[in-house]
């Protein structure tokens, strides 16, 4: 693994365990097994590092969601497929889900910037909403509301599962997806 990737991985790991204010560049260097000065070769400062971690997360999510995308299925089945892809991704990459809350609580100007980046990179997801509305299968609501109603409950349940607060088997996951579908479908 190259040093830049090791630094990004270390930062995400620390972020998921300690939050934004719980680690320093020195901690990142130690976790990634590089010299502190090496971090500054790849990243201008801590804010740049965090911004690039976010960008990498969005890229990873976008790549995972578009893998084997099947546009020949119904809107409802595509929603179920996307939901399961999110679920699998979060089980494989728990540090992404566990750090999500940190990014959700950034100052508004930074949050808006991150939101625009995510929306541009997650085109498949937002195309899904447009197709669903056009077909009459989804409620005519803004993308952000459809996303919040359709997927964010799944994220919270996945987080609680990762923390050991609840248990979710495949049958229960199917029920959760059906409930989320009911929230956004017409």
Enumerate the domain spans of the chain.
1-43, 46-184
Q: How many residues does the chain have?
A: 186
* pTM > 0.85: yes
Using pLDDT thresholds of 50, 70 and 90, give the confidence band for residue 69: low
Euclidean distance between CA atoms 53 and 61, whole angstroms: 12
Using pLDDT thresholds of 50, 70 and 90, give the confidence band for residue 44: very high
pLDDT at 68 over 60: no
- Averaged pLDDT, 67-86: 86
CA 75 to chain centre: 21
Other C-beta atoms closer than 10 Å to the C-beta of 92 total 9
Are the C-beta atoms of residues 55 and 11 closer than 8 Å to each other?
no
Residue in the block written with tokens 């990142």: 28
- CATH number for the segment(s) 46-184: 1.10.357.10
1-43 and 46-184 have identical folds: no
Euclidean distance between CA atoms 45 and 18, whole angstroms: 19
pLDDT at 110 over 90: no
Query: What CATH architecture applies to the domain 1-43?
Result: Orthogonal Bundle (1.10)
Residue 72, SS3 per DSSP: coil
């Amino acid at each position: 693994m190259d040093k830049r990737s090791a630094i990004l991985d270390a930062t995400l790991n620390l972020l998921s365990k300690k939050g934004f204010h719980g680690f320093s560049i020195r901690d990142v260097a130690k976790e990634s097994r590089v010299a502190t000065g090496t971090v500054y070769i790849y990243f201008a400062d801590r804010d740049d590092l965090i911004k690039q971690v976010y960008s990498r997360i969005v890229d990873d999510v976008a790549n995972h969601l578009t893998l084997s995308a099947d546009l020949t299925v119904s809107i409802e089945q595509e929603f179920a497929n996307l939901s399961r892809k999110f679920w699998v991704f979060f089980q494989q990459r728990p540090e992404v889900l566990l750090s999500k809350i940190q990014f959700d609580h950034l100052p508004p100007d930074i949050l808006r910037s991150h939101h625009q980046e995510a929306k541009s990179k997650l085109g498949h997801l937002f195309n899904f909403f447009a197709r669903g509305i056009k077909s009459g299968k989804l409620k005519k609501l803004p993308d952000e509301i459809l996303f919040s109603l359709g997927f964010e409950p799944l994220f919270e349940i996945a987080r609680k599962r990762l923390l050991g607060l609840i248990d979710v088997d495949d049958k229960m996951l199917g029920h959760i997806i059906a409930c989320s579908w009911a929230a956004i479908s017409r």
